[in-house]
Structure 1
Amino acid sequence: MSENQRKIFAGARIRHLRQTRKMTQANFAAALGISTSYLNQIENNHRSLSASVILSLFNSFGFDLSELALDESGKIAVDLREILTDPIFADTNIMPQELKIAASNTPNMVRAFLGLYQVFQKTREQLGQLDTTLSESEAPVAPMPYEEVRDYFHYKDNYIDELDRAAEAFARTITRTDRQRYVLLADYLSDAHGIRVVETKSAAEAGSIRRYDPDSQTLHLSATSNAATNLFQMAYQVGLLEQGALIEKLLDEASFHSPSAREVCRMTFANYFAGAVVLPYQEFLEAAADTRHDLDRLAFRFDASREQVCHRLSMLQRPGQKGVPFYFLRIDRAGNITKRHSATSLKFTRFGGSCPLWNVHASFEGHGEILRQLASTPDGLRYVCLAFSKTIPTPEFRKTSRKYAIGLGCEAKYASQLVYADDLDVTDPRRFEPIGTGCRICERSNCRHRSVPPLARDIKVDHNTRNIVPFQVD
């Protein structure tokens, strides 16, 4: 790594810190013991942060040094680069360095551009539906509120400190005996809120996983759900009842663009709280290291499901207490990503399908067994990838069970911390299968599984030769 690559540029974060303290550049510079011109250069990313400035930030303002490693400008730049591969920008020649500068110096403007593109994409898809005489009910467009909430958590590294710590504190109050947490949580709802918890078949038949009746103060849980799901749903109810003030504060700070996005995020915050109750941060972090991230052992120890364990592993981003950085995703049989997060450099496509060579797709062919894959991405990084299928049964013959594929993985440099990599040779580059983000933006030119040409590259067609892929990528 070169000296320039090791320099820390955090202009947007320093400017935000100064503005939230309502300080002028002169006053802020004086507090740091530097000149105003030097501060101005730092805020505009013309100068990097020196060790003395970083120390002054910590001593004078309690600045969390770990935030310097969480600069979201890299994520914004990746999202921006992907969008700029759209053919509508074909005549726009933007250098990679320009993207990095824009993401670092004007992150709010870039986010506004990303949001505008999402609106454009939705409109384009709706027009395409009309053009092919398909009704919206036959080919629904993903609602914008969900995308806005996904982006919020994406740039928060899927970790909300206040909510996570509140859940961890609550979890301690229901884990001090040998009784099962399911029983303890049901008793807590009864004692603290007068809520009766019942498992009913009628809820399952109505398609409900959880239904709360405020008039009778009864929480109905599906009799067909497993214990892990019902434990989670009880914790969700506690989150709504007891964390309302904190959730409202977080929602106000998020400043979503629509009431729908706010309500989606309210639900997501309650889900976050529930997951952090079932899998308390510190205890789970230590157990993950102790079991070397054995998913089934962790699920058994915490009365959780494999999916809950995988999702939580991708959320262990507490400053100063981080776990192994994992990516996590869940896709349905049509290839739609219904959950996604990456604490790694691996990015998921916002539009279009993911790479067919990724083992997460092959897991649909199995019966829940964990598949392993060594994979490398076009940026040269190598990953240990895990995948398995999950089926949610239905109590009716005429209704199809829901089936998902779960993907979890980390960079190969963490392989020694994974029980699943013990017999895998991560030192041999030939063992790693080349995968991409998605055909639309993948730069590999010799892939036999390519479905569509890359948007940012020219193609050639040789009319005298027909290969597996009917075109060549320049």
Structure 2
Amino acid sequence: MARTDLALTTLGHRIRHHRTARGLTLEALGAEVGVAGSQLSLIENGRREPKLSLLQAIARACGTDLGDLLSDEPPSRRAALEIELARAQDSPVFRQLGIPPVRVTRSMSDETLSSIIGLHRELQRRESEAIATPEEARRANTELRLRMRGENNYIGAIEQIAQQQLQAAGHAGGALTHRTVSTMAERLGLQLIYVSDLPASTRSLTDLENGRIYLPPASVPGGHGLRSMALQAIAHQLLEHASPTSYADFLRQRLEINYFAAACLIPEAAGVEFLQQAKKERNLAVEDFRDAFGVTHESAALRMTNLMTEHLGMRLHFLRVEEDGAIARAYENDGLPLPQDVTGSVEGLPVCRRFQARAALRAQNRPTEEHQYTDTPAGSFWCATQTGSSASGGFSISVGVPYQDTRWWRGRETTARASSTCPDEACCRRPTGEAAARWSGRAWPSARVHTHMFSPLPRGAFPGVDEIEVYDFLERHAAEPGLTRPPRR
């Protein structure tokens, strides 16, 4: 009957509970079961494993049964506290500190035990955060991407919530206005306030106590994105998000608020109607979808991944590729072969040089949109690519489909064609034999090391957020005159 230390500790507590409830001392119980009281003390303290026959005798003497003694449940709140403390003080996290364990006595109050256990829980939580690695984040992100791919990148529940909020705010159609977004916030008892001193680690900040959503000034470059920021802040409240308990939880929440914002900026019914008509006319184009709803090219492309497979039965892929050729964001359910690491993640990996998503970035004169067919080991794909720039550098946005679905898209007549055998490194990642023979051993490049290679994952419930800056900001603005909380409707 080999039992773990924790099970022996629980067993000891249960024996002590039944013994004291029976009014027996260690010596009295020992006399009844035929062992010394000191031996029973070792059993009750979890330091000795009793034989089955002795346990049966103890159960009879205490007026209970063997199954009750062997239960894994602590017999009382006090016992549960003592067991948890024993487990915490036996953990590697605590032992490596070199601090003597606390000896529990009868005079020690439950409140004292709870306080000590609270410290151990916080120690364990911080240790768990500290060991979080970029690999774990990549795994969590990959799991989320694969789950969404299995669901057509479509979340019906959020679509419904967005539709209800738009109707309640009186949105009848066309591009969503800032005023309508403000009305949506007001219905939740929130007021949109534009400030120039937002903490650098935040995109927006919601003061739940005073009913305010702080946003950057409307005049900042790219101010069209303020609608999306406000909608994301609103989404946290509508979707009843709690503080994230893990990095995976944080990523899920971020995906959900982005989805809600997209579903408001391009409502499902209107978006599907537009795409169906464009398909009927064989004139599907991201830029038309973008212009019809007044959103960015990337937002329009991503929204297509929510609607086209679900409602048009069309598989597709989306890529955002940075200037250095690395994938920043990707979605595919059409079989496009993308590079993957051992975790299954694609983000941060170089896309094939032959793909239009990367080739467009090498062009000196970048037209508004380029189209290309690419033959791959998984089949032929067509794509439309738009380039752009941000504070961090250039990037490209690509949306594409398998060859058989090209007939529905504008730009299908392109004669541009490339061939890729990636992930075979001979395709575009390995120098030619001639170049290698010419330069191998005759050059010494100094690599640009990305700082993120050495950065641990940001800690805290909201990774990367500087709480000191956040609370200082809230204190500065909490007492501002002239700001009243809108009534909740």
2:411 is matched with 420
> Is 1:213 paired with 2:188?
no
Q: Name structure 1 gaps, 5 residues minimum.
A: 1-135, 394-400, 426-430, 454-465
Counterparts of 1:226 and 1:364 in 2: how far apart (Å)?
Answer: 21
> Is 1:434 paired with 2:419?
yes
How big is the shift at 1:313?
1.0
2:196 is matched with 201
Q: Aligned pair in 2 of structure 1 residues 375, 307: CA closer, same or farther (>3 Å)?
A: same
State TM-score, norm by structure 1.
0.54
Q: What amino acid sits opposite 1:304 in the alignment?
A: V
How big is the shift at 1:194?
2.6
Higher relative contact order structure (alpha carbons within 8 Å, sequence separation ≥ 6): 2
2:289 is matched with 298
Secondary structure, aligned partner of 2:260: helix
Deviations 1:267-314 (A, max 9, x none): 211211211121122311221243433322222221211000111112
Report the structure number with the largest CA radius of gyration. Answer: 2
Q: What amino acid sits opposite 1:359 in the alignment?
A: Q
1:185 is matched with 181
Q: Aligned pair in 2 of structure 1 residues 349, 201: CA closer, same or farther (>3 Å)?
A: same
- The CA RMSD measured in Å over matched residues stands at 3.4
Contact 2:174 2:292 in 1 (8 A): no
Counterparts of 1:353 and 1:298 in 2: how far apart (Å)?
Answer: 28
Secondary structure, aligned partner of 1:194: coil
Q: Name structure 2 gaps, 5 residues minimum.
A: 1-130, 342-348, 438-489
2:249 is matched with 262
2:315 is matched with 325
Counterparts of 1:404 and 1:217 in 2: how far apart (Å)?
Answer: 37
Counterparts of 2:314 and 2:206 in 1: how far apart (Å)?
Answer: 37
1:343 is matched with 333
Q: Aligned pair in 2 of structure 1 residues 179, 344: CA closer, same or farther (>3 Å)?
A: closer
1:159 is matched with 154
Secondary structure, aligned partner of 1:419: coil
Deviations 1:28-52 (A, max 9, x none): xxxxxxxxxxxxxxxxxxxxxxxxx
State TM-score, norm by structure 2.
0.52
2:360 is matched with 363
Counterparts of 1:307 and 1:142 in 2: how far apart (Å)?
Answer: 27
Secondary structure, aligned partner of 2:210: coil
Counterparts of 1:140 and 1:343 in 2: how far apart (Å)?
Answer: 25
Counterparts of 1:301 and 1:317 in 2: how far apart (Å)?
Answer: 16
2:395 is matched with 404
The match for 1:147 among 135, 142, 145 is: 142
The match for 2:237 among 231, 234, 241 is: 241
2:380 is matched with 382
Counterparts of 1:276 and 1:318 in 2: how far apart (Å)?
Answer: 16
Secondary structure, aligned partner of 2:307: coil
How big is the shift at 1:218?
2.2
Counterparts of 1:293 and 1:239 in 2: how far apart (Å)?
Answer: 30
1:451 is matched with 430
Counterparts of 1:318 and 1:170 in 2: how far apart (Å)?
Answer: 25
The match for 2:166 among 159, 171, 174 is: 171
Contact 1:370 1:386 in 2 (8 A): yes
Secondary structure, aligned partner of 1:202: coil
Q: What amino acid sits opposite 1:290 in the alignment?
A: Q
Deviations 1:420-458 (A, max 9, x none): 22x325xxxxx6311244334xxxx7x4x34289xxxxx
Secondary structure, aligned partner of 1:206: coil
Secondary structure, aligned partner of 1:240: helix
Contact 2:195 2:215 in 1 (8 A): yes
Contact 1:227 1:303 in 2 (8 A): no
How big is the shift at 1:141?
5.5
Contact 1:285 1:323 in 2 (8 A): no
Q: Aligned pair in 2 of structure 1 residues 177, 149: CA closer, same or farther (>3 Å)?
A: closer
Q: Which moved more, 1:321-330 or 1:140-149?
A: 140-149
How big is the shift at 1:323?
4.9
Counterparts of 1:318 and 1:161 in 2: how far apart (Å)?
Answer: 13
How big is the shift at 1:153?
1.9
Contact 2:152 2:309 in 1 (8 A): no
Counterparts of 2:190 and 2:422 in 1: how far apart (Å)?
Answer: 46
Contact 1:327 1:408 in 2 (8 A): yes
Q: What is the aligned-residue identity percentage? A: 14
Q: Aligned pair in 2 of structure 1 residues 152, 374: CA closer, same or farther (>3 Å)?
A: same
Secondary structure, aligned partner of 1:273: helix
1:460 is matched with none
Counterparts of 1:361 and 1:239 in 2: how far apart (Å)?
Answer: 34
How big is the shift at 1:328?
0.4
Secondary structure, aligned partner of 1:304: coil
Counterparts of 2:324 and 2:224 in 1: how far apart (Å)?
Answer: 26
Secondary structure, aligned partner of 1:348: coil
Contact 1:378 1:434 in 2 (8 A): no
